[in-house]
Chains A and B, each alone.
Chain A
Amino acid sequence: QQPVQSPQAVILREGEDAVINCSSSKALYSVHWYRQKHGEAPVFLMILLKGGEQKGHEKISASFNEKKQQSSLYLTASQLSYSGTYFCGTLGGTTDSWGKLQFGAGTQVVVTP
Chain B
Amino acid sequence: GAGVSQSPSNKVTEKGKDVELRCDPISGHTALYWYRQSLGQGLEFLIYFQGNSAPDKSGLPSDRFSAERTGGSVSTLTIQRTQQEDSAVYLCASSKLAGGEQFFGPGTRLTVL
Contacts and interface: CB of A to CB of B under 8 A. Distances in A.
Contact of B95 (A40, A41, A99): A99
Given A87-B42, A87-B43, A106-B42, A100 B104 contact: no
Contact of A99 (B42, B43, B50, B106): B50
Contacts of A41: 91, 104-107
Contacts of B101: 32, 44, 47
Contact of A100 (B56, B105, B106): B56
A88 to B, nearest CB: 10
Interface string A22-52: 0000000110101000001111100100000
Contacts, number: 59
B102 A32 contact: yes
B1 interface: no
Nearest to B48: A100
A97 interface: yes
A103 interface: yes
B50 A97 contact: yes
Given A47-B100, A105-B42, 20 more contacts: A29-B99, A30-B99, A41-B91, A42-B43, A44-B101, A87-B43, A89-B43, A89-B102, A97-B56, A98-B50, A98-B98, A99-B50, A99-B100, A100-B45, A100-B48, A100-B56, A101-B45, A104-B42, A105-B41, A106-B42
